[in-house]
Amino acid sequence: MKIGPETTHIRAGYFFLVAALLSALFWLFESALHATMFHGNSLYNDHRFIDYVFSPDKHELWMRLLVVSSVFLLSAYAHSFYRSRRVEKELINYQAHLGELVEERTSELQASNELLIEEIKDRQALEKSLIDIEDRERRLIGHDLHDGLGQLLTGLAFKIRGLGRKLEIGHFEGAEEAAELSVLIDEAKEQASYLSRGLSPIEMNEEGLMTALKALSSNTSKMFNIPCAFTCEGPVTIHNETALTQLYRIAQEAVTNALKYAQCDHIEISLRKNHDRIIMTIKDNGIGIPEHAARKGGMGLKIMNYRAGLINASLDIRHDTDGGTIITCAHACASEINELVSYSGRVTTSIKTN
C-alpha cells in the first residue's frame, strides 16, 4: 500500500478517534470516582453527577485536561511511530524491488554485451579470413602467371627464335619480323614475371620480408624514377607467414601513399630488430600528412591500421621535423610462436607532430 495523504489522514483519524474514546471514558470514570470516593454520593440517587461530569472544580479540571492531553500526545506519538515504521517498510520493499529491476536489467545488458562480443569476434574472424583468402588468391594467381603463362611465353619465344634462325639461314622474308616478335614475347614474359611478383612478392621463408622489401624499394625506384632506399640492420627473420604478409602489405601501402600524396622525391624503408620486437619504418621527405587526413584517417591509413591489428602490431604515424612523414610499425617477436594471432581490436594508431 502506498503512503499518500489520504492513507495518512485515515490512519491519523484512527489514532485520534481511539484517543478521544479513551479520553471520554477516563473523563466519565474520573467523574464517577470523584463523586463516589470523595463525596460519598450514589451515582443513581445524586443528580449532581452531571455536574461532576460537565462542571468539575478547577483542580479536577486541570488534572483531567492533563491526562487527556497526555493521551492525545501518546496517540500522536504512536501514529508517528507507526507511520515511520510503515514508510521504512515500504522503502525496504521499494529498494528490494529496485534491486531486482537493476539485477534483471544488468543481466539483460550482460547477455546483450556477451552477444555483441561474440558478434564482433565472428566479424573479426570473418574479416581475417577474407584477408587471408585475398592474399592466398594473389599468391595462387602469381604462381599461375609464373608457372603457366611464363612457361608458355618461354616456349613460344624459343620456337620463334628457332623459326627466325631458319628464316635467316634460308634468306627468307620475315626473319626481321620474327626477331621483333621474339623481343615482344620477351617483354611480355618480363611483364608477366613482374605481375607475378606483384601478386605474390613474398617468399615464404625466414628471410622473406627482407627480400620482399628490398624488391619493393628497387621496383619503386625503377617504375616511378624516385629513389627508394632499403636498409636492414642485421638479419631479421620472421617465422609467422601471417605476420610476414601483413608487414609487407603495410610497407607497400605506405610507399603507395607517399607516391600518391606526399609529393616526395625520396623514400626510405628500414627494417631492424630491437630485443623482442621487429621494427619497420617507412619515411619520405614530402609535404607530410594533411591535418584533415590525419584527423579523419583515409582509407590507406585504415587499411594499414587493420593489417597491424591482425598481428597485434602497433602503428605510429607522425610528421617529421624536417618535413615528410614517418610510419613505424612494431611487431612483437613473441607472437611469432603462434601460427596465427587473433585480432584483438585494440590497435592504437597515433598521429603526432614532433
pLDDT in tens, 233-252: 888 888 888 888 889 989 98
The strand pairing partners of 312, in sequence order, are: none
**Beta-sheet pairing, 314-319 with 349-353:** parallel
Mind listing the pLDDT tens digit for each residue in 147-167? 666 666 666 777 777 776 776
- 89-93, 164-168, 174-178: which has the minimum mean pLDDT? 174-178
Last residue of a domain, one of 91, 111, 131: 111
Q: Do 215 and 353 sit in the same domain of this protein?
A: yes
Q: Are 279 and 330 in contact (CB under 8 A)?
A: yes
What is the domain count for the chain? Answer: 2
pLDDT value at residue 325? 92
User: How far apart (Å, rounded) are the C-alpha atoms in residues 164 and 171?
Assistant: 10
Contact 264, 229 (CB under 8 A): no
pTM above 0.95, yes or no: no
Q: For residue 332, give its domain range.
A: 203-354
Confidence of residue 349 (pLDDT cuts 50, 70, 90): very low
CA distances in angstroms from 202 to 122, 189, 206, 214, 267, listed in the order given: 29, 20, 11, 11, 21
Q: Domain boundary residue among 44, 76, 111?
A: 111
What's the pLDDT score for residue 228? 95
Of 67, 88, 111, at which residue does a domain stop? 111
Task: Give the amino acid at 268.
Answer: E
**Does some domain include residue 250?**
yes
Q: In this structure, is residue 143 part of a structural domain?
A: no
Do 231 and 100 share a domain, yes or no? no
Which stretch of 90-99, 127-136, 246-255 has the lowest confidence by average pLDDT? 127-136
pLDDT at 142 over 60: yes
In a shared domain, residues 105 and 213: no
Listed range (147-156, 176-185, 255-264) with the worst mean pLDDT: 147-156
Per mean pLDDT, which range of 93-97, 158-162, 276-280, 286-290 is the poorest? Answer: 158-162
